[in-house]
């Protein structure tokens, strides 16, 4: 159940922080990269995740008020 809750948050972190702040999860955090790769490749996640464009549009008013 934790994976189901954490996957969308990690996706938001990955997409929004890279877009707005130019920040990426450091490559040295290999376990985090392996975990997100496994989560993001699940069929259930792929079928329900927001597009990157919609995610960025949703965060834009909060980041650039």
Q: pLDDT digit string (tens) for 2-35?
A: 778 899 999 999 999 999 999 999 999 999 999 9
Q: What is the pTM of this model?
A: 0.87
pLDDT given at position 1: 63
Residue 54 has pLDDT above 70, yes or no: yes
Summarize the confidence of residues 32-58 as an average pLDDT: 95
Domain ranges of the chain: 2-63
Return all residues near 55 (Cβ < 8 A) that are at least 6 apart: 11, 12, 15, 16
User: What would be the CATH architecture of the domain defined by 2-63?
Assistant: Up-down Bundle (1.20)
């Amino acid at each position: 159940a934790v994976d189901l809750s954490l996957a969308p948050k990690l996706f938001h972190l990955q997409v929004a922080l890279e877009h707005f702040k130019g920040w990426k999860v450091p490559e040295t955090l290999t376990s985090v990269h392996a975990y997100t790769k496994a989560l993001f490749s699940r069929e259930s996640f792929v079928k329900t995740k927001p597009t990157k464009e919609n995610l960025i549009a949703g965060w834009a008013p909060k980041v650039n008020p």
